Amino acid sequence: MNAIISASDLANDLMGAGPPVLLDVRWQLTAARAAGEPPYDGRADYERGHLPGAVFVDLDRELASAPGKGGRHPLPGLEHFGAAMRRAGVSSGTPVVVYDGGQGWAAARAWWMLRWTGHPDVRVLDGGLPSWEGALEKSVPAPAEGDFVPEPGAGLLDADAAAELARSGVLLDARAGERYRGEVEPIDPVAGHIPGALSAPTTENVGADGRYLPAHELRERFKGLGVSEGSRVGVYCGSGVSAAHEVLALAVAGIPAELYVGSWSEWSSDPDRPVAVGPDPQ
């Protein structure tokens, strides 16, 4: 099963006998928010217009728990996450399509969480809401309660496992290159990267239209970063959101990867953890 779906294919699926559940996960992390200004209001954008039948999912409240030692977007409790998914109408036997405002990070976080907790059929709308050419609606649906019960599987890294993977496999840093190199750090307390990690910004996973590059181009990109057949691959970012976008890109390329959810926001909060700066991984 492909991890992404085009807008045209989604339109066809919505007219079929078994349409997918739609989740709208519009969210943004901006420098203004980090500076203490009012956060972006994804629900307000959702209420101004969303895909027909889509249910809003709040990344900060339903796909993460409160910031703390585990980073800025630590995983929520499984009961809390499961209840949010059931409220949105998610069932184990029904396909799910997730979209956001176009950046793809938030949708990928929801995709990863559903896949990690055992949902068998989840895809992300490639290009997000801007790729949709059909009508939007403003009414808020009230779907029937779903039956999805999350059961976590493999694919989750903690700080120690990420450090080990940077030595024994391939650990990719999905943040912008200047943050990896430690030239700027607008959010977290320390600049730099996990020693041994390779710079792999999410912006290089997509084309100018915001859609994922073709699978063969993504495979070549990751091959150039040292990912070979059989490589164990992990990804981190600032807080486990944009890294999910990279895990999704790797899935499109046919490469399984693990996610360090705590990411740099957790790593950099511990003064005993080493920090590397500059373009050299070490």
Catalytic residue ranges: 237
What residues contact 198, with CB distance under 8 A and at least 6 apart?
Answer: 170, 171, 172, 173, 225, 226, 281
Q: What is the DSSP letter of 202?
A: G
- Whole-angstrom CA distances from 36 to 40, 186, 236 are 12, 12, 24
- Write b or e for each residue in 117-150: b if 16 or more Cβ atoms lie within 10 A of its Cβ, otherwise e: bebeebbbbbbbbebbeeeeeeeeeebeebebeb
Residue carrying the six token digits 């976008």: 245
Percent of the chain that is helix, strand, coil (3-state, to 5): 35, 15, 55
Helix or strand (DSSP H, E) at 99: strand 96-99
Q: What is the largest CA-CA distance in the chain?
A: 55
- Whole-angstrom CA distances from 227 to 3, 107, 220, 224, 243 are 20, 25, 9, 7, 16
77/267 Cα distance (integer angstroms)? 21
Beta bridge partners, 96, equal: 21, 122
